[in-house]
Structure 1
Amino acid sequence: TISQPLVVAFMLELLDPRPGDKILDVGSGSGWTTTLLAEIVTSNKQQEKKGKIIAIDIIPELVEFGKKNTEKYNFVEKGIVEFICADGSKGYQKEAPYDKILASASARELPKPWKEQLKIGGRIVTPIGSSIWLFIKKTPSFAKATAGKESEFEEIEYPGFAFVPLISEQ
């Protein structure tokens, strides 16, 4: 399934992708959001740091479908997008760390590998249950100053959404 365009726009606004970002796109499906992200991370042609999207899905047919749709824009050919058929709940360590992580399927909780594979100051936008969550990884000094009070992430919940579940290998 593809999320409603308004929901995708809201999630992208929370994610705040920038030119040069490396982003993990979990549950990439048709490649529609992957293509939008690829356009954003390469929008500054003078940028020295080339952006990259790692699109991951556990369903082989969706990986091929997404790749086919994204290839129309030469993002795969240019090395801007890479499609991976794997369990997205485990992230993709080979390309870590990421500036941003976006998930398009609902997890029961924030997967530990995503936390570990995110850069300091990075953002994760993911559905958990019937809410969209924004997680921002704090700097070590800020996390230390608030030790015992908060986690290493700032967490903001936006309730009232429905998503397909994140499928994992278990």
Structure 2
Amino acid sequence: GSGWTTALLAHVVGEAGYVCGVERVDGLVEFGRRNLDAYNFANAEITSAGDSFGLPHQAPFDKILVSASAETIPQELVDQIAAGGRMVISVGNSLMCLEKSETGKIDTREYPGFVFVPLKR
């Protein structure tokens, strides 16, 4: 999108952290990048997802936030969670929080009552 979520998370992680936003719509990649550049977010970037979910070639990630609603939890994204990491994703009308233990076990918690735009490939 516009880079708003990426900018927000860049504020949250501060200078010691780094945020990589992944956009599915190519025309919005440049739009989001311009917004990040305009406000000097040196600890954030926006990249095109291409045909995959997330950035498997850069995984694993400590935290993953998916700002679109999936029909099911994509294993492709679960595989990108680092040991000790967490992913929050909307599935249907529920927010799902997945935590991966140091041994790779996934613990999932569901929080119903939320609506997001659909996640598209």
- Same fold by TM (over 0.5)? yes
Q: Quick check: which has more Rg, 1 or 2?
A: 1
Match of 1:158 in 2: 111
Q: 1:73 aligns with which of 34, 39, 47?
A: 39
| TM-score between both structures, scaled by the size of structure 2 | 0.89
- Contact 1:56–1:88 (CA under 8 A) maintained in structure 2: no
Residues 36-73 of structure 1: per-residue CA shift (max 9 Å, x gap)? 11112225xxxxxx421111111112112211111122
Match of 1:20 in 2: none
Hey, which bits of structure 1, 4+ residues long, moved more than 4 A? none
Structure 1, unaligned runs of 5 or more: 1-28, 44-49, 144-151
Residues 1:38 and 2:10 are matched in the alignment: yes
- Contact 1:57–1:88 (CA under 8 A) maintained in structure 2: no
> Equivalent residues in 2 for 1:50-129 (5 A)?
50-75=16-41, 78=42, 80-87=43-50, 90-129=53-92
- Contact 2:3–2:46 (CA under 8 A) maintained in structure 1: no
| TM-score between both structures, scaled by the size of structure 1 | 0.65
Residue identity opposite 1:36 in structure 2: L
Higher share of residues assigned strand: 2
